[in-house]
Amino acid sequence: MQLIFMGPPGAGKGTQAQLLADLWKIPHISTGDILRACVVAKTPLGEKAKAYMDAGELVPDGLLMDIVQERMNQPDAKAGWILDGFPRTVPQAAFFDTLLCDVPGGGGPKSGKDCALRAVNLDVPDNVLVTRLLSRGRQDDNEQTIRRRLQVYREQTEPLIEFYRDREQLVEVDGDRSMQEVTAQLQQVLSGNS
């Protein structure tokens, strides 16, 4: 199982990715979680990333590529993974394609295009997202940053939906329903064809 979870901030990517990863016994790899841990630990990477995260901006692609490359090479990523929050830009997706050729579980010497990868988009309207994010209370969940994160998503991440649609790797799910309903639908769409 090789899954990418896409969707705007507040769409429920993290919750659903964690539930399915537990169920399928594969790692849930959240670049946001990795970055937040680096910020708390005050590592050089965390120090560089913090200002971007606090402002609702994307952390520069180069930093993300190093993080993901290192994480994907860990032994637990061999049997598959759910990536949550990566790739988030077209250059990240292109980099990920080349990485998929090399990493364990990546499918061997093929391009990302040929891998058994699926990209899930959780679709949720903006007004629902803002309400959800304001009630979450994370440090970067104030109204100004939320607005900026949604704008950054539309500009830089949404083009990836077409990228994966063109390759027939896109799975679209309505995320504006209860957590249980979304999980059930994801299980139905994703299991069986892995």
Active-site residues: which are they?
13, 88, 136, 138, 149
Which position among 5, 19, 20, 31 is part of the footprint of ligand AMP (CB under 6 A)? 31
Between residues 146 and 191, which has the closer beta carbon with respect to ligand AMP? 146
Looking at residues 38 to 57 of the shown chain, list those that interact with ligand AMP (rule: CB under 6 A).
52-53, 56-57
Which position among 11, 17, 29, 59 is part of the footprint of ligand AMP (CB under 6 A)? 59
Task: To the nearest 10°, report the CA torsion of 177, 57, 171, 96.
Answer: -150
Between residues 152 and 182, which has the closer beta carbon with respect to ligand AMP? 152
Which position among 149, 160, 175, 190 is part of the footprint of ligand AMP (CB under 6 A)? 149
Which position among 3, 17, 21, 64 is part of the footprint of ligand AMP (CB under 6 A)? 64
Q: Is 9 in the site for ligand AMP (CB under 6 A)?
A: yes
> Would you say 61 and 91 are in contact if contact means Cβ atoms under 8 Å apart?
yes
Site string for ligand AMP, 118-147 (x = CB under 6 A): ------------------------------
Count Cβ atoms within 10 A of the Cβ of residue 15 and give its class: 0-12 exposed, 13-18 middle, 19 or more buried. middle
> Would you say 20 and 183 are in contact if contact means Cβ atoms under 8 Å apart?
yes
Closest distance to ligand AMP from the beta carbon of 163 (Å):
14
Measured CA to CA, the distance from residue 141 to residue 148 in angstroms comes to 10
Q: Is 153 in the site for ligand AMP (CB under 6 A)?
A: no
> Would you say 132 and 145 are in contact if contact means Cβ atoms under 8 Å apart?
no
Which position among 35, 103, 124, 190 is part of the footprint of ligand AMP (CB under 6 A)? 35
Which position among 27, 85, 105, 112 is part of the footprint of ligand AMP (CB under 6 A)? 85
Task: Report the residue count for the chain.
Answer: 194
The first and second tokens of residue 22, run together, are 């537990």
The first and second tokens of residue 68, run together, are 């993901």
The first and second tokens of residue 46, run together, are 């965390």
Q: How many CB atoms lie within 10 A of CB 25?
A: 10
The first and second tokens of residue 132, run together, are 């959800």
Residues binding ligand AMP (CB under 6 A): 9, 31-32, 35, 52-53, 56-59, 64, 85-86, 88, 92, 149
